[in-house]
């Protein structure tokens, strides 16, 4: 709730003031910020804004079916386009429904601006109808929030919200707007005259640290690049520069779940994802490396495993835009606070200027070591002629995607299917992979696919889903139908909350408590009931046909792929274990029995 009193005098003198209502200011500011699409759901406390929306044609409003759906749709839109996602919801239940989406965006550093209606200022605190303490509730799940009680401050707050959301480490920002402020008339402050300079995080790297880092990288014997969502957030050029730099060095590279696509997966140097369900080669290389170059990743516990045993022999370089990420979990040798893009291009420049040469002999040895890990073929699985293995379904999907000319975008729900999608679908470009990493929100994928499709009308958008997760925001089918969004929902239907079942099998003595879903809907009929298309594959030989049909449809399509119910997702590092203690499918039987 930032007061912008100090800015008021300036704006009044420096500009011919445009008078308008608070609701009109919202539209005006959105247009000035370059917003053309917003996601939302109306209600009493935002009616003035909806009225203003009705009387203009610059901003398209997408009516979702639930505020959580609207929030994830805005996230998918933001992540796939690089723009700031905007959502508009009413007070009370509208705001509380959006909270999961806001938290999701906070943990995955997705820029969102969320405008919530609020009861009139004179009723705040009275337990008025549909009143909730929105700024109180959202304080810990936003990057920043505002309650605007004075219409003359509104325009400045709106511009500042965009600035805060998109600058530094991106994140969600809430503006809580009482109804009387929406009606009140005040003076508008344009984007250029708004005072937003108070928040200026450091984005340019310290060049001495960059030089030191590049020297360390050049002299490494067993190096690895470990990159994350920060590279994606830094924009497509950061991914391009990263690719150039990594190729120049010839070093191996892995990334977090959030960072997939920054470096092309078809390159030889790509080791696959790391972490709990990452590849054998990526995790072993992390464990045994002597120089780790972490860019835009944050040593999350799903990545590090046991931190006491995390990459014990390496010198670590950590580039992050958020100073609080540095030394939070893992102590590093060279911390660099900077935007990932600026840091990568600075490193590339130093590398070229100093004409660094790598130690080719050492690198050859390192690669032959890595090749022995690769030879383990950690993603192999036992296929079947009668039952569809989820991995096989994704391999077939990938086969047809690779032949499709359209640019493809994958979103996911949360669970085993999400990890398999990360393992089996290669991403060669940034902004093509939308998944809920930090919060792990079931129900993310469908609304995110809707947002992605809106941001990329010609793209092929597929939500790789689980049958349990998809039910959490299934109502968004209706949104997809209304706006003719041909998103494909590829359900790996194992009838189980597969990831929960897997943990119960491996860690809780096979006591399958409440992880089986009785009475699932008929997904084909469900799709049809919404006005979409439903398809089903029950055996491996039905699969190709169904995928081909799915890719041809021009409407929202649900594909119910009946998969093996007992398949587990491997490799796996059990929580609290180290990278070199991971379990492969082949030795699942040797699972550490001390744990159960």
Cis peptide before 571 (omega within 30 of 0): yes
The residue among 167 and 469 lying less far from ligand TPP, judged by its C-beta, is 469
497 binds ligand TPP (CB under 6 A): yes
Interface with ligand TPP (CB under 6 A), residue from 142, 182, 416, 456 = 416
Residues 6+ apart with CB under 8 A from 355: none
The span from the first CA to the last CA of the chain, in angstroms, equals 48
At 533, give phi and psi (nearest 5°): -115, 140
234 binds ligand TPP (CB under 6 A): no
Largest CA distance in the chain: 77
User: Binding pattern to Mg ion, positions 425-464, x when CB under 5 A?
Assistant: ----------------------------------------
Among candidate residues 498, 313, 320, the one with its CA nearest the CA of residue 414: 498
Q: What is the DSSP letter of 426?
A: -
Active site residue 258: no
The span of 67-75, 83-91, 137-145, 466-474 binding ligand TPP (CB under 6 A) equals 466-474
The residue among 540 and 574 lying less far from other proteins, judged by its C-beta, is 574
Asked if 266 contacts 428 with a C-beta cutoff of 8 angstroms, the reply is yes
| Cα dihedral 554, 558, 563, 566 in deg (nearest 10) | 140
498 binds Mg ion (CB under 5 A): yes
- Nearest residue to Mg ion by CB is 466
How far is CA 310 from each of CA 219, 294, 369, 524, rounded to the nearest angstrom?
22, 13, 19, 46
Min separation Cβ 573 and other proteins, Å: 11
500 binds ligand TPP (CB under 6 A): yes
486's contact among ligand TPP, Mg ion, other proteins, none, with CB below 5 to 8 A by partner kind, is none
The span of 12-20, 85-93, 118-126, 317-325 binding other proteins (CB under 8 A) equals 317-325
Active site residue 475: no
User: Binding pattern to other proteins, positions 499-528, x when CB under 8 A?
Assistant: ------xxxxxx------------------
- Which residue is it, tokens 């920002």? 173
Asked if 250 contacts 317 with a C-beta cutoff of 8 angstroms, the reply is no
Query: Where does residue 567 fall: left (phi above 0), alpha (psi -120 to 50 degrees), or beta otherwise?
Result: beta
171 binds Mg ion (CB under 5 A): no
Min separation Cβ 588 and ligand TPP, Å: 17
Neighbours of 507 (CB within 10 A): 14
Interface with ligand TPP (CB under 6 A), residue from 24, 467, 476, 567 = 467
Among candidate residues 240, 427, 263, 481, the one with its CA nearest the CA of residue 348: 240
Q: Catalytic residue numbers?
A: 67, 129-130, 179, 499
Residues that bind other proteins (CB under 8 A): 1-3, 5-6, 135-136, 139-140, 143-144, 147, 164, 198-199, 306, 322-324, 326-328, 505-510, 574-576, 588-589, 591, 593, 595-596
């Amino acid at each position: 709730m930032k007061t912008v009193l100090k800015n008021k005098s300036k704006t009044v003198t420096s500009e011919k003031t445009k008078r308008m209502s608070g609701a009109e200011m919202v539209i005006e500011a959105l247009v000035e910020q370059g917003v053309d699409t917003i996601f939302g759901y109306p209600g009493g406390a935002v009616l003035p804004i909806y009225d203003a929306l009705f009387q203009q044609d610059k901003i398209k409003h997408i009516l979702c079916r639930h505020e959580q759906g609207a929030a994830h749709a805005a996230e998918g839109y933001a992540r796939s386009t690089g723009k700031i996602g905007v959502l508009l919801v009413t007070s009370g239940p509208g705001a509380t429904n959006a909270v999961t989406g806001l938290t999701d965006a906070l943990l995955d550093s997705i820029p969102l601006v969320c405008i919530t209606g609020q009861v009139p200022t004179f009723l705040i605190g009275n337990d008025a109808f549909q009143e909730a303490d929105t700024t109180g509730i959202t304080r810990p799940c936003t990057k920043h929030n505002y309650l605007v009680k004075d219409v003359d401050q509104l325009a400045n707050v709106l511009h500042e919200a965009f600035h805060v959301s998109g600058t530094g480490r991106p994140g969600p920002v809430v503006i809580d707007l009482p109804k009387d402020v929406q009606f009140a008339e005040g003076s508008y402050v344009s984007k250029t005259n708004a005072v937003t300079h108070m928040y200026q995080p450091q984005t340019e790297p310290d060049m001495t640290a960059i030089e030191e880092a590049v020297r360390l990288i050049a002299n490494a014997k067993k190096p690895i690049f470990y990159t994350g969502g920060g590279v994606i957030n830094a924009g497509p050029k950061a991914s391009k520069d990263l690719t150039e730099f990594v190729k120049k060095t010839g070093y191996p590279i892995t990334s977090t779940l959030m960072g997939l696509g920054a470096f092309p997966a078809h390159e030889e140097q790509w080791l696959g994802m790391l972490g709990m369900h990452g590849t054998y080669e990526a995790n072993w290389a992390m464990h045994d490396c002597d120089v780790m170059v972490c860019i835009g990743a944050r040593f999350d516990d799903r990545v590090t495993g046991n931190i006491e045993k995390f990459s014990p022999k390496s010198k670590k370089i950590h580039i992050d835009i958020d100073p609080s990420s540095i030394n939070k979990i893992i102590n590093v040798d060279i911390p660099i606070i900077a935007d990932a893009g600026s840091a990568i291009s600075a490193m590339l420049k130093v590398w070229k200027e100093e004409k660094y040469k790598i130690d080719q002999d050492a690198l050859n040895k390192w690669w032959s070591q890595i090749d022995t890990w690769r030879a383990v073929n950690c993603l192999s699985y036992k296929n079947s002629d009668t039952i569809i293995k989820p991995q096989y379904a994704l391999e077939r999907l990938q086969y047809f995607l690779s032949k499709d000319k359209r640019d493809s975008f994958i979103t996911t729900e949360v669970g085993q299917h999400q990890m398999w999608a990360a393992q089996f679908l290669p991403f060669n470009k940034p902004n093509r992979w939308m998944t809920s990493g930090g919060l792990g929100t079931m129900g993310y994928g469908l609304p995110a696919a809707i947002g992605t499709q809106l941001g990329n009308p010609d793209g092929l958008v597929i939500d790789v889903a689980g049958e349990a997760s998809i039910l959490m925001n299934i109502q968004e089918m209706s949104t997809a139908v209304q706006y003719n969004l041909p998103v494909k929902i590829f359900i790996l239907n194992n009838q189980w909350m597969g990831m929960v079942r897997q943990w119960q099998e491996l860690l809780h003595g096979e006591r399958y408590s409440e992880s089986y879903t009785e009475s699932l809907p008929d997904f084909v009929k469900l799709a049809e009931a919404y006005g979409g298309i439903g398809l089903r594959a029950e055996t491996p030989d039905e699969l190709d046909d169904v995928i081909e049909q799915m890719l041809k449809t021009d409407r929202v399509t649900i594909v119910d792929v009946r998969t093996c119910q007992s398949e587990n997702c491997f490799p796996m590092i059990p929580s609290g274990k180290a990278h070199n203690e991971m379990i492969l499918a082949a030795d699942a039987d040797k699972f550490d029995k001390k744990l159960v």
